[in-house]
Structure 1
């Protein structure tokens, strides 16, 4: 895959140099993934219905759960059976469970309110292996299909059944996008080598800082604070760093975070600034990025 990507929605080009820090989808803390070979509508909630998959998608959105349609790279198997995953990327206990449903009507039995609160919806056993999502949602944005589909096929040659194509994950201007579940680490503007490195890191239980957009479900300033502490300390373990609090500083575009790292506690002040528009203003998405203004070690011994 080469750089210099453009499409009808993004009239300029993506160079891989655009800041993607703290751009992961804020509202995606609980997930419902449903195998659906397509076609995919522009918005998943507009999936043709009534039908059990369409009903489950709309019920998930109403409950505050992020629904994603998924399918295998390069293949469009007829369904049922339908592979379904449910998981939570919030807090310190990220998890995902899944099974194949012989009848999609079984989706109606899921407790989506429990899932929204970070509890099992009653789908099945927890899954030990990660689920790696590559956005290929061309109906939403042509860049996602043009860059995401070949990336998904490439990753599938190495990571096989861990890889799924998926609908919109946010951040079209960062295509190709990768989301690593259950923790929800999101990467953008990836080429094959960068995506391969990100997936390898996640299988080791780590994050890869280059092209890391952030952790889904966290406010953007919290994503930035976590990133800056990881960069400062070199701690890359998926569970090494926790944002304990994030507070806006009145009258400014700054936020103050307290970030925990094992026995250490950091105070981090980040500021939102506007980034350039190399792909033009038609992306229609958040153009902020963040810079660190203060990063202070508060203590090393108080936390166990």
Structure 2
């Protein structure tokens, strides 16, 4: 049976510039089954789910449910919930965790401040393994279950401690999809060996660019531009690059990527449509998903004027 992931892979659809956009992630543990819109169709009280959606809207915070890999029986209703909040902007990256008795407690958080990178003392700094979040929500798209759940189970069996299943990362056709925190880089068509390499790099503050969809800290043109600069320069330090500003509108942008050491690059990004048409999700109609093509990468150099002396 053909799937959207099979079609995307066979057509070699590019991954760069396809990550979900969120500067801050709020992850709430909720075992059991998830519906297509998991915040309001799971064992989480749907009123709480709707309230979290409203609180996050327009703040730069994305809320998702997580659960440990394995079977998820309907009767599994935890008395306590693990919560993680991560901010992914380079130079201000943090990941903090806490256990809450009632998810309603999260509604007391200042979502605007969280989106701006202020944690307000929530929880404690996460000092364990980086989080590997694998999308497994089969109710959203069957590829996420068919490809994501086996990947999450395999990683857990290999002893990767930070593995969680997550409700939705976007881009079903790139399944299995993965988000790695604290740095917020997303990956597609991920296999267990590749993920182990990605997590090993994160432990030493580095980014693997192969299979990378981009950093969730940036809009999609910025994601593609930053990855292009990493590829062109070989820079793999997680916090080294940032998107300084983006000029233009679809279908063409000029993105300035800045290095922590002061260097800058101007990257021309063009939006095109993926051809031939393919389904963006299983069971969906054929379409031409937007793709971000990097047209040029140029380092910005400033000539230093000659010193003029007078006698």
After TM superposition, the score normalised by the length of structure 1 is 0.85
Ranges of 4+ aligned residues in structure 1 off by more than 6 Å:
none
Higher mean C-alpha displacement, 98-107 vs 63-72: 98-107
Query: Which residue pairs with 2:275 in the alignment?
Result: 276
SS in 1 for 2:65: strand
- What is the alpha-carbon distance in structure 1 between the residues aligned to residue 207 and residue 11 of structure 2? 18
Rg (Cα) greater in structure: 2
SS in 2 for 1:14: helix
Query: Which residue pairs with 1:228 in the alignment?
Result: 228
Q: Say whether 1:74 aligns with 2:70.
A: yes
- What is the alpha-carbon distance in structure 2 between the residues aligned to residue 58 and residue 285 of structure 1? 29
Query: Which residue pairs with 1:255 in the alignment?
Result: 253
Q: Say whether 1:19 aligns with 2:14.
A: yes
* Cα deviation, residue 285, structure 1: 7.9
Q: Say whether 1:57 aligns with 2:52.
A: yes
Contact 1:44 1:57 in 2 (8 A): no
- What is the alpha-carbon distance in structure 2 between the residues aligned to residue 284 and residue 116 of structure 1? 33
Query: Which residue pairs with 2:263 in the alignment?
Result: 264
* Cα deviation, residue 286, structure 1: 3.6
* Cα deviation, residue 193, structure 1: 2.3
- What is the alpha-carbon distance in structure 2 between the residues aligned to residue 284 and residue 121 of structure 1? 43
SS in 1 for 2:264: strand
Higher mean C-alpha displacement, 146-155 vs 103-112: 103-112
What whole-Å deviation, never above 9, does each CA across 1:40-98 have from its counterpart, x for those lacking one?
12113433674675255334433632111000011546412110011211352111211
SS in 2 for 1:107: helix
RMSD of aligned residue pairs (Cα, Å): 2.7
Give unmatched runs, 5+ long, in structure 1: none
* Cα deviation, residue 299, structure 1: 5.0
Query: Which residue pairs with 2:211 in the alignment?
Result: 211
Query: Which residue pairs with 1:157 in the alignment?
Result: 157
* Cα deviation, residue 297, structure 1: 3.9
Matches within 5 A, 1:99-118: 99-118=98-117
Contact 2:274 2:289 in 1 (8 A): no
Residues 78, 297 of structure 1: alpha-carbon distance in 2 compared, 3 angstrom cutoff: same
Contact 2:20 2:170 in 1 (8 A): yes
What whole-Å deviation, never above 9, does each CA across 1:97-143 have from its counterpart, x for those lacking one?
11111333433332223212221154311213322210001000000
After TM superposition, the score normalised by the length of structure 2 is 0.84
Query: Which residue pairs with 2:308 in the alignment?
Result: none
